[in-house]
Amino acid sequence: MTPSFFDEGALVAVLTTQPLDRALDYKAPEGGCHLGAFVEVPLGPRKVLGVVWGAGTGDYDYAKVRSVMRVLDVAPMRDEMRTFLEKAAAYTLTPMPAMLRLATRAPGLGDPPSMRKVYRRGPSEPDRMTDARRRVLEFLAEYGDLAFTLKELADLSGVTSSVIKGLVKQGAVAEEDSPRDLPFAPMDPGRPGKALTEDQARAAGHISAAVKVGTYGTTLLRGVTGSGKTEVYLEAVAACLAAGRQALVLLPEIALTAEFLKRVEERFGARPAEWHSGATMTERRRIWRMVGQGNAQLVIGARSALFLPYQNLGLIVVDEEHDTSYKQEDGVLYNARDMAVLRASLLGAQVVLASATPSLESWANAESGKYTRLDLEARFGPAVMPTMQTIDMRTETLPSNRWVSDTLKRAVDQRLENGEQAMLFLNRRGYAPITLCRACGHQVGCDQCDARMVEHRFLKRLMCHQCGETKPMPTTCPSCEAEDRMAPVGPGVERLGEEAVALFPDARVAVLSSDMYGSARALKAEIEGIAAGAADVIIGTQLVAKGHNFPNLTLVGVIDADLGLQGSDLRAAERTFQLMRQVAGRAGRAEKPGTAMMQTFQPEHPVIRAILAGDEEGFWRAEAAEREAAGVPPYGRMAGIILSGPDVAQVFDAANALARNAAPLTRVGAQVYGPAPAPIARIRGRHRVRLLVKAGKGVALQGAIAQWVGQVHLKGDLRLAVDIDPQSFY
Ligand code: ADP
Ligand code: ZN
């Protein structure tokens, strides 16, 4: 058994965040160190962050082994967390140092807490009382023993900071150092929540009871948008906090809105810790430390909040569990939803997966009894599900470069007359997806990638959606050099915005697309403004489908319902189904019933028909049967292997060598397909070749893959990435 403490001089194995293939031996420092301690160790000429992972191997000459330099002043990593990182690494075939980096994403972890000056009432009286001085002292008297920063105290008592400094000199105000990393205000789970409907109360009761028992379990909480899923899981959060354990609510980044945080704050009387990409370094450090000490009880965060060092986590909610943004697509390729289930199972914690349109994976896990399924049947209050209609585009006549049919236009006009909002949905950013030369037919592509450049008129440039490379809009054709013959082909949201302005001249038109705002915050502010009524016609990409409330929105027009049905992607039908249902769910959330209209050239397509009929179970059963027949996830296992490098022949050689030496895979009954150029065959100048591995559900795929790819020696600039359970196929 690994000891839990190492005396000075004992050999310890330290896992660092450096890309090495194993932990290194060091001597425990003066005073010894705990198993799991965060430490600084020398590595060559540098000092690096690491964690004491176990006893040292003793494979080295003891005299030459170096000592741990410093034990950081933070709680040691718990056994559970080390096990979690190991299992997550084994599942995703990620090297341990990369996992450790994910778990230490806060700068300056080990620095002593930085200090700031705070001010409170001092022991003396000022020699001379002025109005300003009196205001400060009365303000402080009112707040008893509380301390304030200089700026807070000056602002709140309405004086300049020099007044306060003057009082400090006289001892009437005391100046002290106080650590910056303050605990989060305690949450009050005892505050009353909303009175729940019968349906909601049953679901909340079920999950809360499981949380109180304190064992592992996963619940799929399904209910249409507006049915009160959030109310239900906040009850479960309350039960968890009341039991003295921490809770985590994961949301897709874009759904982390001020509106949501306000709702949580109202429910629990204090602000939760917010972990997202916009958090400052200081905020991240504070959250990381406080979570580890148990001084942050509730964390609301994006994907990577799962890797914080919780002291006693009892509940993980994954809201919008089907959302594709839970799958990280670069660096460590993990799916936060699946890793949440893994972590909870190690902790004896409950997981709630909430969605209006669950992923087929979760649906199947509920069907097979692995997850408990709870359904909320109706929308809360008077709101009802929108009416769904298709517009058969084969019978509509549209002038060229127009995408809004007459039928849809009339429906929008009617909403505008009623003073209501309408949304036109198109899942394509930019102005036009193709820029074409009318003289020679050349389409402008990215120089680095195998992708077309998309015109962004708002930015006045062409942009590659793969690598982000931009270039100015050419006036002469890069191929035949004809002048002024370049033309946009097809619509993006910006172009649709132009059409809407022309069609609805009296309406305020707003285009919502992630690239049109400087930051996620700015975008969220814009969305909130629009929800409050700042626009009449909203043009949006898929980001408007995520969790926002538009109470006055009563019509959603889907410009191209066929868009998602084309790709060769395994999940194309599922994605289209989810997206259309969610977009439709934006309409009629408050008192006014909504309508969703889908423009389509294939109204007979089974997915379109299932959406129309609102027949979710029917759709899932049909989709499940197809996947089961094909032996693909969730009824079979898949992994993608992407090899990339600057030289295409070399990449193919390596991929062919892998395909030829697939014995470790065939031994376990897995098959290899490829190599083939990846759907996007070149990104940032690197050629990409893909192999696909398929296996039966019970196959221990990771071990076989590790053995298989371990055989090749990657020469030069060649890289290999393994994507277990690939979500997108690029
Ligand atoms: P979902 O998460 O399923 O989209 P929400 O929990 O956000 O649904 O509920 C939708 C709206 O209805 C919210 O404004 C919420 O406050 C309100 N609501 C839901 N249930 C209740 C309830 N039992 N009492 C009062 N308001 C409720
Ligand atoms: Zn590119």
Query: Is ligand 1 within 6 A of the CB of residue 200?
Result: yes
Mind listing the pLDDT tens digit for each residue in 210-265?
999 999 999 999 998 788 999 999 999 999 999 999 999 999 877 777 788 899 99
| Residue 685 pLDDT grade (very low, low, confident, very high; cuts 50, 70, 90) | confident
Query: Is ligand 1 within 6 A of the CB of residue 547?
Result: no
Map residue 134 onto helix, strand or coil. Answer: helix
Q: Which atom of ligand 1 is nearest to the CA of 547?
A: 4
The separation between CA 329 and the C-alpha centre of its own chain, rounded to angstroms, equals 11
What CA–CA distance (Å, rounded) separates 604 from 619? 14
- Say how many Å lie between the CA of residue 226 and the centre of ligand 1: 6
The CB-side HSE value for 350 (13 A sphere, CA atoms) comes to 27
Query: Is 449 within 8 Å of 682 (Cβ atoms)?
Result: yes
Closest CA to 493 of 539, 528, 449: 539
Cα separations in angstroms, 497 against 411, 426, 444, 596, 599: 17, 10, 23, 19, 17
Residue 196 pLDDT greater than 90, yes or no: yes
Mean pLDDT in the chain?
87
The least confident of 469-473, 574-578, 625-629 is 574-578
Q: What is the DSSP string of 145-160?
A: T--B-HHHHHHHHT--
Supply the pLDDT for residue 252.
87
Query: Is ligand 1 within 6 A of the CB of residue 513?
Result: no
Pocket test for ligand 1, best of 380, 589, 591 (most atoms within 8 A of CB): 380
Supply the pLDDT for residue 730.
55
Supply the pLDDT for residue 314.
97
Query: Is ligand 1 within 6 A of the CB of residue 325?
Result: no
Ligand lying closest to the C-alpha of residue 686 = 2
Q: Which helix (H) or strand (E) holds 21?
A: none
| Residue 287 pLDDT grade (very low, low, confident, very high; cuts 50, 70, 90) | very high
Residue 689 pLDDT greater than 60, yes or no: yes
Residue 180 pLDDT greater than 90, yes or no: no
Residue 587 pLDDT greater than 70, yes or no: no
| Residue 2 pLDDT grade (very low, low, confident, very high; cuts 50, 70, 90) | confident
Residue 158 pLDDT greater than 60, yes or no: yes
Residue 669 pLDDT greater than 70, yes or no: yes
Supply the pLDDT for residue 577.
79
Query: Is ligand 1 within 6 A of the CB of residue 226?
Result: yes
Supply the pLDDT for residue 379.
67
Query: Is ligand 1 within 6 A of the CB of residue 260?
Result: no
The pair of three-digit structure tokens given for residue 720, joined into one six-digit string:
């290999």
Query: Is ligand 1 within 6 A of the CB of residue 225?
Result: yes
Arithmetic mean of pLDDT, 541-547: 65
Q: Which domains does the chain have, with CATH numbers?
A: 5-80 (3.40.1440), 115-179 (1.10.10), 198-376 (3.40.50.300), 387-428+491-623 (3.40.50.300), 636-724 (3.30.70.600)
Supply the pLDDT for residue 674.
82
Closest CA to 357 of 498, 486, 227: 227
Residue 516 pLDDT greater than 80, yes or no: no
User: Percent of the chain having pLDDT more than 70?
Assistant: 93
Query: Is 292 within 8 Å of 209 (Cβ atoms)?
Result: no
Supply the pLDDT for residue 412.
97
Question: Phi, psi at residue 289, to the nearest 5°?
Answer: -70, -45
What CA–CA distance (Å, rounded) separates 258 from 702? 41
Residue 590 pLDDT greater than 60, yes or no: no
Arithmetic mean of pLDDT, 50-73: 92
Arithmetic mean of pLDDT, 662-672: 92
Cα separations in angstroms, 356 against 140, 219, 221, 697: 50, 14, 8, 27
- Say how many Å lie between the CA of residue 644 and the centre of ligand 2: 15
Query: Is 110 within 8 Å of 74 (Cβ atoms)?
Result: yes
Ion ligand 2 contact residues with beta carbon within 5 A: 446, 448-449, 464, 466-467, 469
The least confident of 19-33, 439-453, 509-523, 706-720 is 509-523
The pair of three-digit structure tokens given for residue 53, joined into one six-digit string:
């992972």
Pocket test for ligand 1, best of 199, 229, 230, 320 (most atoms within 8 A of CB): 230
| Residue 586 pLDDT grade (very low, low, confident, very high; cuts 50, 70, 90) | low
Query: Is ligand 1 within 6 A of the CB of residue 230?
Result: yes
State the distance between the two ends of the chain, measured CA to CA, in whole angstroms. Answer: 45
> Atom 15, ligand 1: which residue's CA is nearest?
228
> Atom 9, ligand 1: which residue's CA is nearest?
228
> Atom 14, ligand 1: which residue's CA is nearest?
226
Pocket test for ligand 1, best of 231, 385, 586 (most atoms within 8 A of CB): 231
The pair of three-digit structure tokens given for residue 115, joined into one six-digit string:
């200090």
- Say how many Å lie between the CA of residue 231 and the centre of ligand 1: 6
pTM: 0.81
Q: Which atom of ligand 1 is nearest to the CA of 196?
A: 23
Supply the pLDDT for residue 616.
82
Q: Which atom of ligand 1 is nearest to the CA of 263?
A: 16
- C-alpha dihedral sign at 251, 255, 257, 260: negative
What CA–CA distance (Å, rounded) separates 22 from 552? 57
The pair of three-digit structure tokens given for residue 135, joined into one six-digit string:
């205001």
| Residue 428 pLDDT grade (very low, low, confident, very high; cuts 50, 70, 90) | confident
Supply the pLDDT for residue 395.
94
| Residue 3 pLDDT grade (very low, low, confident, very high; cuts 50, 70, 90) | confident
The least confident of 67-81, 247-261, 300-314, 539-553 is 539-553
Query: Is 588 within 8 Å of 386 (Cβ atoms)?
Result: yes
Strand 115-121 and strand 33-34: pairing?
Answer: unpaired
Query: Is ligand 1 within 6 A of the CB of residue 582?
Result: no
Query: Is ligand 1 within 6 A of the CB of residue 427?
Result: no
Q: Which atom of ligand 1 is nearest to the CA of 383?
A: 12
Supply the pLDDT for residue 450.
75
Mind listing the pLDDT tens digit for each residue in 369-393?
999 999 997 766 655 667 889 999 9
Of residues 505 and 110, more confidence is placed in: 505
